[in-house]
Every structure is written in structure tokens, then in C-alpha cells.
Amino acid sequence: MKKIVAFGASSSSSSINKKLATFAANKIPNSQAIILDLNDFEMPIYSEDRDKINGIPEKAYEFKMILKNADGIIISFAEHNGSYTSAFKNIFDWISRIEKIVWYNKPMFLMATSDGSRGAKLVLEIAYNRISRGNPFNIPKFSLPNFYDNFNENDGIIDTDLKENFSKSLLLFQKNL
């Protein structure tokens, strides 16, 4: 059974990106979805000085170990002012200090959603450009615009075209596993 780590790159307790990541992870047959909440990995804001004085926080090592034990990783990005949320960026900064290969070259599926018509595409492109660099897999990506119009808890993605695009991306991720 494959272990799929999934999370919304947001600290919101009602994160639509966590809902989308959870939905995707639960669509993969013969797998165990491990859903993370970034609030469980809150750490001091990364700085070189903190790193030198106090070292890397234990929560960064915990997060990294979860990634290491995964067979695949699904991240859905929230967009704050056109970029990553501070919660995600801080975890990313800390875990990048542990080992050079941050995501262990695992198969990944990158997504983003928002309540707007662009579906957080800007942060998805930023994340894709950074995370895909050096990863040996063709990393699929998917953006879901207008979350509240195109997604519901019971049916998942409602719009036919968006659902088809999502399914194609998810299939590529599954082939990489």
C-alpha cells in the first residue's frame, strides 16, 4: 500500500487547499492518505541567526521524516499576495536546511485553488518552477478556480472540464508512484 502525504499549503483552519489535497489523496486506490495540517508544524520564523544559535527545530525534522517515509506527495497551494503562504514558506525554509534534496525526489502532484477565477495560478507556477527543478518525475499540476462554485464535499470537482483535467493530472501522478 502506497503512503501519500497530502496537505494544503495554508494555516487556515478551514483551508480549501487542504480540502482539495485531501480529495486528491483519497482518490488514489490502494493507498494510505496521510493528511498534514501545517499548524502542527509551527516553528519560529526561519533566520540564519536562529539556525546558528538554536539549531533546526524538532518539528522540521518531524515534517522531513514524514516526507521521507512517503511514496508520493500532494500539495495544494494557497496564494497570499501572489506567493506562498508564510506558513508554507517557513516550513520550506527550515526543512531545506536539513538536506539538500528537500522533497526526496518523490513523485509529486502540485495543485492550487482559490475562490477567484484564476485559481491561485500564480503561486502554482512559482511552486512548480521551484519544486520541479531536479525532480526526476514529470510533476503534474492542476488549478481549480472558483472553488465554491466548482467543488463540493460530496461530489468533489463538479465542472466536467475541470474534473477531466484533474483526472488526467492525478493519473500521471499515479503512474509515477
Cβ-based burial of 120 (10 A; exposed 0-12, middle 13-18, buried ≥19): buried
Q: Please give the pLDDT value at position 23.
A: 98
> Going from the N-terminus, what domains does the chain have, and what CATH number goes with each?
2-176 (3.40.50.360)
Q: From the centroid of its chain, how far is CA 68?
A: 15
pTM of the model as a whole = 0.97
φ, ψ (nearest 5 deg) of residue 145: -80, 160
Q: Please give the pLDDT value at position 100.
A: 87
- DSSP assignment of 82-139 equals TB--HHHHHHHHHHTTT-SSTTTT--EEEEEE-SSTTTTHHHHHHHHHHHSTT-SS--
Please tell me the distance from the alpha carbon of residue 139 to that of residue 103, in angstroms, as a whole number: 12
pLDDT digits (tens, 9 = 90+) for 56-101: 999 999 999 999 999 999 999 999 988 999 999 999 999 999 998 9
Average pLDDT on 124-135 reads 96
Average pLDDT on 10-17 reads 97
